[in-house]
A and B are shown apart, each in its own frame.
Chain A
Amino acid sequence: MTKPVLEVRGLSKRFGALVVSDGIDLSLRAGEIHAVIGPNGAGKTTLIAEICGGLAPDAGSVHLNGRDVTGLPIRARAKMGLARTFQISALAMEDTVLQNALLGALGAAGRPWRFFRPVLSDRSLRVVAEAALDRVGLSHKAAARTAELSHGERRQLEVAVALTLTPTAFVMDEPMAGLGTEGGARMTALLGTLKHEAPILLVEHDMDAVFALADRISVLAGGRVIASGPPDAIRADAAVREAYLGDEA
Chain B
Amino acid sequence: MTRESFVNLALLTALVAVPLWAWVAGEPFTITLATRAVIFALAAVGLNLALGLGGMVSFGHAVFFGLGGYSMGILAHHAQNFLPLYDGLIVIEGTKSMPVIWLVAIVVSALAALLIGLLSLRTSGVYFIMITLAFGQMFYYFAISWRAYGGEDGLSIWVRNDFPGLNTLAPIQFYGLCFALLLAALWLSARIARSSFGLVLNAARQVPGRVETVGLDGQRAKLVAFVISGAITGLAGALFADLNRFVSPTMFSWHMSGELIVFIILGGAARLFGPVAGAVLFVAMEHVLGDLWDHWHILLGALLLVIVLFARGGLIGLLAGKARNHD
Contact = CB atoms under 8 A, between A and B. Distances in A.
Interface of A: 52, 54, 73-76, 78-79, 83-84, 86, 90-96, 99-100, 102-104, 106-108, 110-120, 122, 125, 161, 164-165
B221 interface: yes
Interface in B203-242: 203, 206-207, 209-217, 221, 224
B76 to A, nearest CB: 31
A103 B327 contact: no
B202 interface: yes
A99 B199 contact: yes
B103 interface: no
B145 interface: no
Contacts of A86: 209-210, 213
Which of A52, A73, A103 is most buried by chain B, counting CB atoms within 10 A of its CB?
Answer: A103
B202 A112 contact: no
A115 B196 CA distance: 7
A95 B212 contact: no
Contacts of B191: 115-116, 118
A52 B213 contact: yes
Q: Which 4 A-B pairs have the closest CB atoms?
A: A107-B214, A78-B215, A107-B215, A79-B215
B207 A90 contact: yes
Contact of A119 (B194, B206, B215, B224): B194
Interface residues of B, number: 26
19 contacts: A75-B215, A78-B213, A78-B215, A90-B207, A91-B207, A92-B203, A92-B206, A95-B203, A95-B206, A95-B325, A99-B202, A106-B199, A106-B200, A112-B197, A112-B199, A112-B216, A112-B217, A112-B221, A116-B192
Which of B192, B194, B195, B200 is most buried by chain A, counting CB atoms within 10 A of its CB?
Answer: B195
A75 B221 CA distance: 14
B215 A113 contact: no
B325 to A, nearest CB: 5
Contacts, number: 107
Given A111-B196, A113-B197, A114-B196, A99 B213 contact: no
Interface in B242-282: none
B198 interface: yes
A137 B171 CA distance: 60
Given A75-B217, A103-B199, A116-B191, 7 more contacts: A92-B203, A106-B196, A107-B211, A107-B215, A112-B216, A113-B196, A118-B195
B209 A112 contact: no
Nearest to A122: B196
A90 B327 contact: no
A165 B216 contact: no
